[in-house]
Amino acid sequence: MHLINCSIPELDLQDIDLSLNIWGKKLHYPLVINALTGGSNEAQNINRDLAIICKKYGLAMAVGSQTIAWEDPNWIQSFAIVRDYNPEGLIIANVGANSGSDAARAAVAMIKADALQLHFNVPQELAMPEGDRHFRGIVAKVADIVKECPVEVIAKEVGFGFSRESVHQLFNIGVKVFDISGQGGTNFIVIEDNRGGMFHGELNSWGIPTAVSLAETVACRLPITIIASGGIRTAYDVVKSLALGADMVGIAGPLLRILRRGGIEQLDRFMNNFLYCLKAIFLMSGAQNLAVIKTKPVIILGSTAQWLKARNIDPQWWANR
């Protein structure tokens, strides 16, 4: 996928405004440092440093799955620390879609969250020798969570991508926010196979690629908020996702690797340059803000274009979305 260079943007870099207001909070950039970790001393330090970065740059942050914290309350602080270091920021809680409304409310209260991710990870569970094998009734559980949860509920894939059929199914029970998390980033089937999983390398390519999942979700033409994630590595990836129709973009793995390799100082330098590149690409595309970038042409080629054709997603509509 490609954006088109605008040789005469009639903009200054200082004109670029990437801020947005969502769920009662203002962000300086449409970025979520996505669900990573919690439940250990190292995880607590990681969450602290990520919260500091989010506060400095005005980014949203999601914690990792909080299940471990109600199984062992000693680990609550490894999650709650994000609110300690970013008291006014946009913080997102995280539980499995199969958890139930009590667990969902507890996760939100634990970190005073502004929204809640429900993660859908069926392939990962099936790849785990000790994983869940029972998925009947998830729709009813999610519907109950949506009804009972005091904050916005986000349906989040974990690297295998939502199809438009799944998006419609969840929308029909009240879900209005989708983090598509397509194939291309962290691969939990590979991770589980490396520790003695069930698939033995046969399903390493399973999933819907991020660009395709984003296109399928946008093509539903529903009144929803879309977060693109899954293999987002560069500022260009972020802008292409926004141009294709995402409202926000999640990034996780690359930031964790930088943080573990060089500490918070190196992550700070990376993020400063990343956000400069983000604004620069908006300017080079002739887009002043998040609304305008969605009007810019996107060239879709190769397997992504073939997928859209096979799924009867009208390319002419896509070009004039």
Query: What CATH number does residue 161 fall under?
Result: 3.20.20.70
Query: Tell me: the pLDDT tens digits for 215-243?
Result: 999 999 999 999 999 999 999 999 999 99
- What residues contact 255, with CB distance under 8 A and at least 6 apart? 33, 50, 53, 267, 270, 271
pLDDT grade for 314, boundaries at 50, 70 and 90: confident
> Residue 72: pLDDT above 90?
yes
According to DSSP, the β-strands at 115-120 and 31-33 are: unpaired
Residues of the domain holding 40: 2-319
Q: Report in angstroms the alpha-carbon separations of 102 from 11, 62, 105, 139, 288.
A: 50, 19, 5, 16, 43
- At residue 321, the pLDDT reads 57
DSSP helix/strand/coil, 145:
helix
pLDDT grade for 11, boundaries at 50, 70 and 90: very high
Instruction: Give CA–CA dist 145/143, Å, rounded.
Output: 5
> Residue 205: pLDDT above 90?
yes
Single-letter code of the amino acid located at 230:
G
Mean pLDDT of 96-112: 96
Going by the DSSP 8-state scheme, the letter that residue 94 receives in this structure is E
Mean pLDDT of the chain: 96
Count structural domains, the chain.
1
Among residues 279, 298, 316, 211, which one has the least CA distance to residue 19? 279
Q: Which helix (H) or strand (E) holds 274?
A: helix 253-284
Among residues 249, 274, 286, 285, which one has the least CA distance to residue 22? 249
> Residue 123: pLDDT above 80?
yes
- At residue 315, the pLDDT reads 61
- What residues contact 20, with CB distance under 8 A and at least 6 apart? 26, 27, 30, 247, 248, 290
Phi, psi of 243 (to 5 degrees): -65, -35
Range of weakest confidence among 98-107, 121-130, 211-220, 307-316 = 307-316
CB 117 within 8 A of CB 86: no
